[in-house]
Structure 1
């Protein structure tokens, strides 16, 4: 199995950080023990003793840290932290492992450095106490970090599940109507039916790509998807559907949540073109206001019966889907406003730009 250059560079750095941490802890413990048993006032006369203390502390640290890490690895694999009993078992086993490692380190030092290593019970008690406290604190932080990582993973999984559910709700809105249009065209206008199938295929390819990535796309890519959607719907409504898209070129690279603009346009088609027998114009506009991207989708149809957004969201429309997506990505920083004949969405450009580095190349193509 090949190793990437990045991993090859990270391993020596990680090892250097770990050795540096062990040395730092060893120096602190060695100085503390020297101060307890000798006194810092005698440092100039007995500095070799301080060096021996630091050296022995380093040996103890290596034994204990290695033992604890190996024990934690085995425990995490065999006894997942899913109950209080499991936590108690982890603590008990780690305590035994610490005492055992301390005994092994003591024996190792005594065998190799019998003349320099003191085994007076007072020294052993103090060093054992200090070691146990340091180990306990280190283990506590390690488990806190483990719980934090698992919490983040659980939140990420919940977020992805909600996002996947929202994506699944978006697609069927126009899929069945598109198939009906294709079925109506395939006998009378097969060439146009083929074009609709291609647009529908491209649209679903974009939606599928959006479902696999970070959930962000460029405004230009969203406009491309909207054009495909309008092309499919034009096969159904014919001349009753007129589309106008006014999105400046300098705003098309702006990052936005993927599959956000299309539901707004779909809503305009449904409540505009779908509720009138006359020609209806669906307009998509975008403008920049300071650090805010203002998206507006309007139609010349009969309009909404109310401008109360909550009342419309409670009906379970596609707007509720978009609202939840915006809340997932931006919280209260994004705003949606219901207009008499359309919808306006405001997104914080600066906050959205932080997610742009995760965009794949195919999601950054401007329309």
Structure 2
């Protein structure tokens, strides 16, 4: 079945090849139908030759029509229609002459030049067949053009989609780099070169991960957490013992596919608005589990939280959370949820629900 589908796709991919397939198959089908119809009458065996010659004549006459139709393709439809009808009738009349000539001169009476005008008989019936051929030609041609335009539209949409995702994620990097480079600069100024070197090394590994994984790519959650640990190691140089992180992943959740670096802006938000504001430091917790066909990813902190409805942070906060929501929307459409709530007894809770996809 797959071999047949591959062979059929091979024929469709080349329009010239596809035309000759339909051209040959169509006229062969015409000959077979005509021959089966002749079996209902008492016809001599030589009539099969007449049928073959008639089908072959139709095959040859319609080949120039193809190239003629190509040349007039761009004409105004008002002009195109009468030109096509005229060309169709000329082809039909020519075919009728050849068909009648072979019938009367070979099958019936032999060579009779004085009766050649009689060969135009049945040209109207031939016209209907030629008109059907022309209709099929233009119908298939327009269908192919429609498919081309649809493919171009899909490709343009896909490229715009990818560009949007890249823009959303790469907007996060300058902010993160600014903070990290400032921290490294501070460490160098206070002569803590070993710590500065560690931060540079971890930053290099983190950025390598970021470059190796496109914004449209999904990776197993366990790999996402590994990259997140690099980011947290960088932040621990700044916060030392004030930053505590707890990660709890179920076995199924570990192999769940998630957008690359989807957690980093969530953690960055917790560090900025929770850990940094607490003298004694605080805790960030990451939990992930699979429920039914959904992956539930939760990030909570024990910071001061927000007053009122936490959801308004998405509209009034920085780019991190809003971009995360927009990335999820671009990747999953409406099949996701992204919510912020106050955590009990204190802090902020971020919940992400996305379709569960298991890594190979």
Paired with 1:248 and 1:150, the residues of 2 have a C-alpha distance of 42
Matching of residue 189 in structure 1 with residue 196 in structure 2: no
- Aligned pairs for 1:1-367 within 5 A: 11=10, 20-27=21-28, 29-30=30-31, 34=34, 40=37, 43=40, 45=42, 48=48, 49-59=50-60, 115=102, 121-122=123-124, 124-187=126-189, 188-211=191-214, 214-309=216-311, 311-317=312-318, 318-340=320-342, 341-349=348-356, 352=357
Paired with 2:263 and 2:57, the residues of 1 have a C-alpha distance of 66
Does 160-169 or 22-31 show the bigger shift? 22-31
Q: State the shift of 1:94 in Å.
A: 11
Q: State the shift of 1:42 in Å.
A: 5.0
Does 57-66 or 190-199 show the bigger shift? 57-66
RMSD (Å), alpha carbons: 4.1
TM-score of the superposed pair, with normalisation by structure 2? 0.74
CA distance 1:139–1:217, change in 2 (3 Å): same
TM-score of the superposed pair, with normalisation by structure 1? 0.73
Of structures 1 and 2, the larger Rg is shown by: 2
Kept after mapping to 2: 8 A contact 1:285/1:297: yes
Paired with 2:194 and 2:94, the residues of 1 have a C-alpha distance of 87
Give CA deviations for 1:42-72 in whole Å, capped at 9, x if unaligned: 556557255445444544566555776x779
Kept after mapping to 2: 8 A contact 1:229/1:262: yes
CA distance 1:160–1:93, change in 2 (3 Å): farther
Unmatched tracts of structure 2, length 5 or more: 1-5, 105-118, 343-347
Q: State the shift of 1:307 in Å.
A: 3.8
Give CA deviations for 1:319-358 in whole Å, capped at 9, x if unaligned: 1111111111111111112121220101111xx45xx68x
Kept after mapping to 1: 8 A contact 2:228/2:263: yes
Kept after mapping to 2: 8 A contact 1:218/1:256: yes
Give CA deviations for 1:216-242 in whole Å, capped at 9, x if unaligned: 222122112211111111122222111
Kept after mapping to 1: 8 A contact 2:205/2:230: yes
Paired with 2:237 and 2:92, the residues of 1 have a C-alpha distance of 80
Does 186-195 or 293-302 show the bigger shift? 186-195
CA distance 1:134–1:233, change in 2 (3 Å): same
Pairs aligned (count): 327
Kept after mapping to 2: 8 A contact 1:67/1:101: no
Paired with 1:219 and 1:268, the residues of 2 have a C-alpha distance of 19
Give CA deviations for 1:231-277 in whole Å, capped at 9, x if unaligned: 11112222211112222344222211122111111121122112222
Q: State the shift of 1:127 in Å.
A: 3.5
Unmatched tracts of structure 1, length 5 or more: 1-6, 76-86, 358-367
Q: State the shift of 1:172 in Å.
A: 1.7
Does 257-266 or 101-110 show the bigger shift? 101-110
Kept after mapping to 2: 8 A contact 1:63/1:101: no
CA distance 1:89–1:249, change in 2 (3 Å): farther
Kept after mapping to 1: 8 A contact 2:282/2:301: yes
Paired with 1:142 and 1:53, the residues of 2 have a C-alpha distance of 30
